[in-house]
Amino acid sequence: MFELLFLIAMITWAFITLIQYLAGLPAALTLLVATLAVPLLTYSRARTMARRHGLTTNRRTGPPLPPERFYWPATRHWLGWHCTLAALAAALAWPVTILWPARPAIDTASLLGWVSAMAAIIALAEAVAGLWLYVKTSQRFNRQTPTVIGWLRLGLYRISDNYEFLGEEPLPREKRVRESVY
């Protein structure tokens, strides 16, 4: 019990130290706005993109309907490019935001800081929304995609001998063979 309390105290101390460091940065106001705005914008943009392209991310029983399955390769390609370009825009906008932080003053440098902060926040929200939608929708068509998730599922399957990680039907009891892990 003491070890658990010690770990909780260490994690809390590290978190408070990080918050104090971030509060001392000139871009602290931008980081605070981003912390509040990015999750809301991400959720909103993911729902908008899903509606626009006819993607459903909820789990229904049975396989996806044929129109969704036929249109998914083209939509997947578009969504991949969208994520890549938004991530590139965010990677370019955040250093500018850190170099010229937004301040609660009205002058040219502060205005440039607010514009770059908005560009960085919107680009980050677009990238996260696109990635979230890509992963959720591709999981609906094939549980082994994207590749990293497929590797994780395969590893968990080999460790636990649990068929649900691969999204397959269970083998009959007499055909199950426990794979050696060690």
- Which residue in 180, 151, 154 sits closest to 165, CA to CA? 154
Report yes or no on whether pTM surpasses 0.85.
no
For the chain, the straight-line distance linking the first and the last C-alpha, in angstroms and rounded, comes to 31
Same domain as 27, residue 96: yes
Residue 63: is its pLDDT beyond 70? no
Same domain as 75, residue 42: yes
Query: What does the alpha-carbon distance between residue 29 and residue 6 come to, in Å, rounded to a whole number?
Result: 32
Number of domains in the chain: 2
The length of the chain, given as a count of residues: 182
Min mean pLDDT across 8-12, 18-22, 58-62 is at 58-62
- Cβ distance 162 to 181 under 8 Å? no
For the chain, give the mean pLDDT: 81
Same domain as 151, residue 112: no
140: Cβ contacts below 8 Å, ≥ 6 apart: 56, 57, 59, 64
Backbone angles phi, psi at 176, to 5 degrees: -75, 135
Give a yes or no: residue 7 inside a domain: no
Question: What is the per-residue pLDDT for 168?
Answer: 59
Same domain as 108, residue 23: yes
pLDDT cut 70: percent of the chain above it? 75
Residue 26's domain comprises 14-56+65-141
Residue 73: cis peptide before it, omega within 30 degrees of 0? no
Same domain as 176, residue 109: no
Tens-digit pLDDT profile for residues 169-179: 666 666 666 65
Tens-digit pLDDT profile for residues 102-152: 888 888 888 888 899 999 999 999 999 999 988 888 877 776 677 777 777
